[in-house]
């Protein structure tokens, strides 16, 4: 039985209003100052709800029910991407070059809805809740790391996170036990040569041919160093060199990303990038300066908690609701929270083929079907109830 159904239905108009405001006024990672104030404005007068600004941006709110019980955290990210918007929605971003193209506006609005629903039902709710409105999921080192370091997860028994998913139609969620997202790192290589006139390359140390060969060599790290049964990705995403047609530049810069599922492969690839870059540079009398930035760790959904979330979704919306996902190579700093407590991260279907809402996240034309909001909130809240019971059962067994 969904004890929150009526409250969720009544808050949906506000959820849409919040989401559209956030979409219209997006802010990039670590710059979400107005977004933070807007979130506070929506929760500051709710009975029983307290809040604090643990970091420069973002909000952590708390609520205790009238009955004792475990503490469950619910997390939403609040930042937007630095990119133009071409979605065509009437509430298009009013800030050129910044867009909520990953659905973080929907995550924030749904979590605001969950706060309101739980505050309204406080007398019938057990345990405590931590509502994490987290900054900077899109940009390393991410906002979750600082919150964890500052103790936001202290005393939390389990955590839930959700993400908009245009690849699934409204009425479905995607989830899996175990690995969900990968270690996501970045690298950079600067080849230092000696430039000069394009008509006399023999008088120069041209970094461009070295960089071009290096791009090809880097692609062989995964295919020749990583076992075929294991998953890894190395992608070169940037190559910068030169300023004029007849000038050989001094430097060429390569940048890219690495995705893995083990620390062993993560380190192996980092070491090989350094070794190969230096070897190619040495062969042509140049130098290579490498940087490797460790980003988010892989996200591993706790199996028993994932099964409880799946059970909640099936009970609410039927056995065809849940789609078992394959492990993805994307990155997600929700993984930081899972180092402190068990939990589950899942994807809420927000696509609609008939309306043309099929563009992926990070697309300038990204759009979502707001009919998914009640599903996301209901699954989040009912899963939280099941998580509380699971925590109790586990503690009894101990």
Q: 27, 137, 138, 370: which one is catalytic? A: 370
Choosing from 38, 168, 261, 296, which is the catalytic residue?
296
Q: What are 45-52's contacts with CB under 8 Å, separation 24+?
A: 46/115, 46/116, 46/119, 47/119, 47/122, 48/119, 48/122, 49/115, 49/119
- Residue 329 sits at the vertex; the CA angle it makes with 114 and 277, to the nearest 5 degrees, is 135
Closest CA to 118 of 195, 3, 17, 230: 3
Q: How many beta carbons lie within 10 A of that of residue 304, not counting itself?
A: 15
Report the distance separating Cα 362 and Cα 379, nearest Å: 25
d(CA 256, CA 272): 14
Structure tokens at 210: 């070295």
Determine the 3-state secondary structure of 211 from DSSP.
helix
Among 65, 212, 39, 186, residue whose Cα is nearest residue 128 = 65
Q: Contact at 8 Å (CB) between 101 and 81? A: yes
Task: Describe the crossing of helices 263-283 and 207-225 by its angle, rounded to 10 degrees.
Answer: 150
C-alpha 373 chain-centroid distance: 18
Q: Is 190 left (phi over 0), alpha (psi -120 to 50) or beta?
A: beta
Check if 370 is active-site.
Answer: yes
Q: How far apart are CA 344 and CA 313, in angstroms?
A: 13
51 classed as catalytic:
no
Q: Determine whether 52 is exposed, middle or buried from the number of CB atoms within 10 Å of its CB (0-12, 13-18, 19+).
A: exposed
Alpha helix segments (H runs only) across the chain: 5-24, 33-43, 104-120, 144-149, 207-225, 263-283, 303-317, 373-397
Enumerate residues 6+ apart whose C-beta is below 8 A from 42: 18, 112
Q: Assess contact for 357 and 369: CB atoms under 8 A.
A: yes
- List the catalytic residues: 296, 370
């Amino acid at each position: 039985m969904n004890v929150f159904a009526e409250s969720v239905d009544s808050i949906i108009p506000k959820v849409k209003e919040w989401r559209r405001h956030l979409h219209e006024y997006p802010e990039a990672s670590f710059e979400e100052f107005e977004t933070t104030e807007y979130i506070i404005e929506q929760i500051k007068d709710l009975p029983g709800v307290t809040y604090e600004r643990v970091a420069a941006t973002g909000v952590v709110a708390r609520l205790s029910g009238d009955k004792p019980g475990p503490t469950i955290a619910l997390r939403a990210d609040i930042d937007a991407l630095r990119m133009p918007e071409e979605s065509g929605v009437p509430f298009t971003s009013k800030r050129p070059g910044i867009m909520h193209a990953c659905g973080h506006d929907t995550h924030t609005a749904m979590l605001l809805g969950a706060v309101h629903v739980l505050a309204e039902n406080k007398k019938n709710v057990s345990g405590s809740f931590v509502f994490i409105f987290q900054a900077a999921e899109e940009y390393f080192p991410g906002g979750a790391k600082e919150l964890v370091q500052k103790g936001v997860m202290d005393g939390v028994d389990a955590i839930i996170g959700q993400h908009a998913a245009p690849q699934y139609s409204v009425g479905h969620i995607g989830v899996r036990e175990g690995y969900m997202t990968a270690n996501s790192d970045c690298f950079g290589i600067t080849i230092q040569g000696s430039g000069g006139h394009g008509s006399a390359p023999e008088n120069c140390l041209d970094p461009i041919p070295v960089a071009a060969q290096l791009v090809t060599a880097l692609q062989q790290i995964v295919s020749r160093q990583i076992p075929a049964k294991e998953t890894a990705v190395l992608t070169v995403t940037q190559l910068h060199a030169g300023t004029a047609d007849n000038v050989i530049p001094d430097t060429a810069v390569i940048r890219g990303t690495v995705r893995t599922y083990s620390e062993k492969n993560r380190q192996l690839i980092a070491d090989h990038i350094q070794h190969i870059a230096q070897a190619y540079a040495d062969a042509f009398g140049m130098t290579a300066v490498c940087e490797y930035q460790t980003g988010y760790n892989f996200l591993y959904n706790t199996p028993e908690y994932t099964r409880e979330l799946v059970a909640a979704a099936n009970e609410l919306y039927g056995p065809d609701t849940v789609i078992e996902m394959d492990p993805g190579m994307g990155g997600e700093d929700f993984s930081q929270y899972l180092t402190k407590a068990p939990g589950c991260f899942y994807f809420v279907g927000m696509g609609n083929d008939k309306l043309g809402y099929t563009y992926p996240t990070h697309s300038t034309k990204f759009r979502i079907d707001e009919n998914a909001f009640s599903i996301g909130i209901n699954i989040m809240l009912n899963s939280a109830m099941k998580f509380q019971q699971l925590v109790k059962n586990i503690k009894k067994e101990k």
